[in-house]
Amino acid sequence: MTIHGAKGREFPIVFIPSLNKDRVHSRYRPPKIPIPRALWDVIPSEFSEEEVHYQEERRLLYVGITRGKERVFLSDCLRFGTNKRVTPPSMFLSEILEGPGHHRTEDALEVVDEPEERAETVEELLMDVVIGDVANGDYQHAVEAIAALAKVEGTGSEPLVVPVNVDLEGYLTRLRERYDEPDALHAATAHFSPSRLRSYEECPAKYRFNYVLGIPQMDRTYFELGTVVHGLIEKITKRMVDGDDVGEEEALELLEDAWRSSVWDSEEMERQDRESAQKMVRDFLVRQRGKDARIVGIEQWIDLELEGRRVSGKIDRVDDHGDHLEVTDYKTSRRKESRPKLRADFQMVLYWEGAESAFEKPVRKVGHWYLRLDEEMMVEISPEEREAVLDRARGIIRSVEAMEFPATPDYNTCRFCDYADLCDDRHQ
Ligand code: SF4
């Protein structure tokens, strides 16, 4: 819930996270259309525009804090997500800490269970993490979880008891097996998604680096831009489905809330991306208002079975047009796909099949909504075309099961491949 959305309401306990610079408080930016000096002179103020902005932000936080009837928890964060840069705390947090009436803890969570119970909970959580990681091939993370499991003793001010039933040796054996024969383990346990299938088709060796060996790809800021805009549009459309209209001003405020300045390497890149994001949100709202179909699915999971394997994915949006559905995937890239490629795309065909089975209604069109270009491209895919794509997917699943991961070097693919330095077969 946003602070704006909480206005006029009260709750026994309120949590306000992210009291960090550029979050709560948001950064001051001079207005694009400056207020004429003459108007400032009519309403004389001893404060600059920037100071007025921070006063407004301070009042907003005050609104948030006064929503709590019994307790209010405020927290900041040293580093958000995978950010490299530390995000300083909000100036408001420093002001609050200077005054009375607060109790400060270094940890975000206060653990109140007895030590034995805590150990049990931690153990259960970590065991789940390890098992899930091993099943998904993320064994680097599994090793970290095992290390954490081994360190359960002595955490916090009251020492935790050592969990007695932890089969560390068992986990390590399974992980060793994975290191020794990662292809075999992957072949036995792999599940699939449109992006995995696409990756295999691009270059099976690249797929192996990523999904079999679990070597992560590099972080890229354009992923961040896409993630922020996707998340925001999801939030806005969910509100619309609930009958709550979101205007441009509020949408841009939500964008500011979600924005993480510290991800960008330079202020100029960040400024350009922020302006792009704002334009995408504005264009989206205008285009959305012209639609009369009912949105029936947002971030809709689909699950299919191919060759006895699970193939899953998440559809951005499903619209119900009465007698048929249309399935849309939002894109923030600058590049448009061609129509023939869209009709042969794993994602489009799997979403088509998945939506028909999830909603028990025929799909008539699938396509991309290019947010950056403010354009939609919807296509019809014939049953024969869909079957051909499903056949390609079945072939890939069989190749993974057969542990076939040949490199298929190509100038363009290798040029942008994160594993080029590791790959002996890269295009020279
Ligand atoms: S460098 Fe080229 S051949 Fe090697 S994994 Fe990457 S895409 Fe495949």
Handedness of CA 357, 359, 364, 368 (dihedral sign): negative
What is the rounded (10 degree) CA torsion for 38, 39, 45, 51? -110
Q: Ligand 1 centre and the CA of 148: distance in Å?
A: 34
Q: Which domains are delineated in the chain?
A: 3-98 (3.30.160.800), 115-180 (no CATH), 192-428 (3.90.320)
Separation of alpha carbons 303 and 319, rounded Å: 19
CA of 195 relative to ligand 1 center, distance in Å: 16
Amino acid letter, 43: I
Taking only the tens place, the pLDDT of each residue in 78-133 is 777 656 667 788 888 777 777 665 566 554 433 333 444 444 555 555 666 666 66
Tens-digit pLDDT profile for residues 160-210: 344 444 455 665 666 565 556 778 878 877 889 999 999 999 999 999 998
Ligand 1 test: best mutation among 200, 415, 425, most atoms within 8 Å of CB? 425
pLDDT, tens digit, for every residue of 8-45? 778 888 888 888 887 777 776 665 555 555 555 555 55
- Terminal-residue alpha carbon distance, the chain: 52
The segment with the largest mean pLDDT, out of 36-40, 248-252, 253-257, 393-397, is 393-397
Q: 241: which 2 tokens?
A: 């489905």
Distance 423 CA to ligand 1 centre (A): 6
Planar angle of CA 367, 375, 193, nearest 5 degrees: 30
Q: Which residue has the higher pLDDT, 378 or 41?
A: 378
CA of 180 relative to ligand 1 center, distance in Å: 22
* Ligand 1 geometric centre to CA of 186 (Å): 19
Q: What pTM was computed for the model? A: 0.60
pLDDT recorded at residue 112: 37
Amino acid at 180: D
CA-nearest of 83, 104, 166, 92 to 130 is 166
Pairing verdict, β 325-331 and 363-370: parallel
Mean pLDDT of the chain: 79
pLDDT digits (tens, 9 = 90+) for 281-336: 999 999 999 998 999 999 888 889 999 898 999 999 999 999 999 999 999 888 89
Report how far residue 407's alpha carbon sits from residue 428's, in angstroms, rounded to the nearest whole number. 13
Mean pLDDT within 56-61: 80
205 Cβ inside 6 Å of ligand 1: yes
**Per-residue pLDDT at 158 exceeds 50:** no
Number of the ligand 1 atom closest to the C-alpha atom of 203: 8
CB 409 within 8 A of CB 425: yes
Give the Å distance between the CA of 66 and the centre of ligand 1.
56
Q: Are 379 and 343 in contact (CB under 8 A)?
A: yes
Q: How confident is the model at residue 263 (pLDDT cuts 50, 70, 90)?
A: low
Q: Is the pLDDT of residue 47 over 80?
A: no
Six-digit token pair at 161? 């008891």
Q: How far apart are CA 355 and CA 327, in angstroms?
A: 8
Q: Is 213 in the pocket of ligand 1 (CB under 6 A)?
A: no
CA gap 231, 257 in Å, rounded = 11
Which amino acid residue places its CA nearest to atom 4 of ligand 1?
426
